[in-house]
Amino acid sequence: MKFIIRLLLIAIFSYLLSLVMPWWILILVAGILSFILPGGNFNAILSGLLGGGLLWMVMAWKVDVETNSIMSTKIIQLFPIDDVNMIIIATGVLGGIAGALGAFTGNSFRQIFIKKKEKSFYS
């Protein structure tokens, strides 16, 4: 349940803040939310990956539809890619990597402050 909540909060806050802030706000949002909402490393990384990746993919698709693929066809001329959908997927992958790194950093920073239990000689 925390995974889904963290994923949705990363996507929602990143979208809202990206309207007035630069692209790297996704990294900060994923890091702060992973610091606030506890979870395992894999759980945090996956929520940041999916939250950021899906958000950026949807936003790239939205821009592509609104501009009738004008911007995408100009980007295709710069890179050796033949399909507009590959540009959208690549954008999602980059957003996912950014979100995953931010979430991992926030979760790791939280683990610095958690006191670990010492192992007993008898356990």
* Tens-digit pLDDT profile for residues 8-17: 999 999 999 9
Measured CA to CA, the distance from residue 97 to residue 91 in angstroms comes to: 10
In eight-state DSSP terms, residue 23 is T
- Confidence (pTM): 0.86
Q: Where are the domains of the chain?
A: 2-112
Residue-wise pLDDT for 71-96, tens only, equals 888 888 898 888 889 999 999 999 99
Tokens of residue 120, six digits: 């007993």
> Quick one: residue 40, left, alpha or beta (phi over 0 = left, psi -120 to 50 = alpha)?
beta
